[in-house]
Chains A and B, each alone.
Chain A
Amino acid sequence: MSYGSIVKVPFGPQHPALKEPEHFLFEIDGEIIVNVKPRIGYNHRGIEKAFERRTYIQNIYLAERICGICSDAHTTCYTQAIEDLLGLDAPPRARYIRVIVAELERIHSHSLWLGIAVHEIGFDTFFMYLWRDREAVMDILELISGNRVHYAMNTIGGVRRDITPEIIPKIIRSLDFLEKRTKYYMKALRSERTVLKRTVDVGVLKPKDAVELCAVGPTLRASGVKNDVRGDDPYAAYDEIPFNIVTDDGCDVFSRMLVRCGEILESINMIRYALDHMPSGMLRVRMPMAVKPGEAVSRVEAPRGELIHYVKSNGSTRPERYKVRSPTLANIPALCRMFIGQHVADIPIILAGIDPCFACMDRLVFIDVKTNKRKSLDFESFSEMVRKQRNFRLA
């Protein structure tokens, strides 16, 4: 039913449903969303330019701080790109440790997301339960790396810390606990009427649209498309570890929940296998200070989907150009499609459905509007330009 007049409703940058600053402008007819305009860039810090000012080793620190939730995915992607340039191969044990940490991160990220998602539909009890159990995986990560969020595990040519035999039983115990709880949550999700009513057939993304709009990660897999970098283009030790790519045909928010729950269970099995089959040997190989000229692209399956890093080297100790394409950015066009025709009340859960991470996303391409040409500027002139134009806005 149409009311004839369109009302514009702003959403963000500060909004209880968003943990990060981002703005969406919804055009609403009655209760139905007819159009949505995302305005990104509140989180833009200029990391890609900062990469060019630091050495390759310092950049590991910076790559980790692109995003706090998928910090390990970013450093894995960064170190793989540099290793590719250098022609280095991480030792087998290091590759297994990378997989273990990456999968632990996936468990932590997915359970975090599931908590936020049920919080958006008002199911706070479930949220609290999930976050309580999530502390088990945070404890494992702290045990392995010494930190809860930025693990600093990866370095160019390997990993920095070992997983010692003493802590393996503790990890296994926590994994058993997590597996039991995740199975219980899946059962609860499937049988809870409130969850079903708020998520089934909400935010539908048809497989054709998902592929057309280049959706990635669990958002794509929940539309029934089997696509996962870990399987399609294995990195680290993923070619040696058996796992299933979890998909679901529901195409809605509910199937996105199920896919992520399924992935938690898969990750638990992968970590168990990796801990059993971890080869012995050294953790890292030495790298030279300077990197020879060249370009490299590296792909990693972050918890939110396919993450791409690109690096261009000119033979010095610093990269000449660095580029990050994060999964959330790839999912934004698909997200805008999901909103059309939905109710206003479903905005938070649809938005949460893609597991947005705006810290990863806000990148910038400088286009001169008058001549429609892409420009590249060095750091100093760019800084100066930005400071001069106080009303500078990101395109």
Chain B
Amino acid sequence: MSLLKWIRAKSPWILHFNTGGCNGCDIELLAAFTPRFDVERFGILLQGSPRHADILAVTGPVTLQVRERLIRIYEQMPEPKYVLAVGSCACSGAPFKDCYNVIGGVDKVLPVDAYVPGCPPKPEAIIDGIVKLIQKIEEGGTCEKRR
């Protein structure tokens, strides 16, 4: 493993963005960062700015209004960047799939690297999703292919 890859896999910083979800996944994602689950002990940190983030964790179905912002935030993130879809809505749109103001899952707008299904997924499931994503980063990731 190259040094760069090792650094990237060791401490990924996460940016959380709600694209129109019901808050359920958001509180579970946040719960993963608090003492009971505490992913910070593994070096995973919740970040406020897209410019410092490695992983974009998206919760909720993508609404028409939020679409441009989501793309803008994704573009502001430095390469290599990864997208984690948290919750059934972010994976496929789930109950809001046929709503007039909803585009659908995140993969309709951005390339997604890992999906965490569940309504909402438990913090354990989110952590598992992050771990699987880190494995993907270690194996080389998909960021180069996207170019």
A315: Cβ under 8 A from any B Cβ: no
Among B19, B23, B73, the residue within 8 A (CB) of A68 is B23
**In whole angstroms, what is the CA distance A112 to B24 when docked?**
12
> Which residue of chain A has the shortest Cβ distance to B26 in the bound complex?
A19
Q: Is the interface of B mostly helix, strand, loop or mixed?
A: loop
**Smallest Cβ distance from A43 to chain B, in angstroms?**
5
CB < 8 Å: which of A47, A50, A148, A357 contacts B28? Answer: A148
Q: Tell whether A382 is near chain B: CB-to-CB under 8 Å.
A: yes
Cβ contact within 8 Å between B101 and A13: no
**Cβ contacts under 8 Å, B19 to chain A:** 21
Residues of chain A lying within 8 A (CB to CB) of residue B23: 19-20, 67-69, 357, 359
Q: Are B95 and A50 in contact (CB under 8 A)?
A: yes
Q: B27 near A149 (CB under 8 angstroms)?
A: yes
Nearest chain B CB to A58 CB, angstrom units: 9
Let me know if A131 and B31 touch, CB within 8 A.
yes
Tell me, in angstroms, the Cα distance from A238 to B109 when the chains sit together.
46
Contacts of A149 in B (CB 8 A): 24, 27-28, 120
Q: How many A-B residue pairs have CB under 8 A?
A: 128
Q: A68-B120, A135-B36, A150-B119 are in contact. Are A42 and B100 (CB under 8 A)?
A: no
The docked-state distance in angstroms from the alpha carbon of A148 to that of B21 is: 16
B114 proximal to A (CB < 8 A): no
Task: Give the CA-CA distance A15 to B49 in the complex, in Å.
Answer: 8
A67 to B22, CA, bound (A): 4
Q: Are B66 and A61 in contact (CB under 8 A)?
A: no
Number of interface residues of A (CB under 8 A): 47
- Chain A residues lying within 8 Å of B31, measured Cβ to Cβ, are 131, 135, 138
- Verify if A16 is at the interface (C-beta below 8 Å from B): yes
B3 contacts the other chain (CB 8 A): no
**A21 touching B66 by the CB < 8 A rule?**
yes
B63 touches A42 (CB 8 A): yes
What separation, in Å, do the CA atoms of A394 and B65 have in the docked complex? 8
Q: Is the Cβ of A45 less than 8 Å from the Cβ of B102?
A: yes
CA distance A96 to B22 in the complex (A): 27
Complex-state Cα separation, A395 to B101, whole angstroms: 14
Given A61-B95, A150-B119, decide whether A21 and B64 contact each other with a Cβ distance below 8 A: no
Assembled-state Cα–Cα distance A197/B49 (Å): 27
A223 CA / B55 CA spacing, docked (Å)? 42
Interface of B with A (CB < 8 Å)? 16-28, 30-31, 34-36, 48-50, 60-61, 63-66, 69, 73, 95-96, 98-102, 119-120, 122
Other A-B contacts than A42-B65, A128-B35, A131-B34, 8 sampled, CB-CB below 8 A, are A19-B30, A44-B65, A45-B102, A49-B99, A49-B100, A68-B21, A68-B24, A68-B120
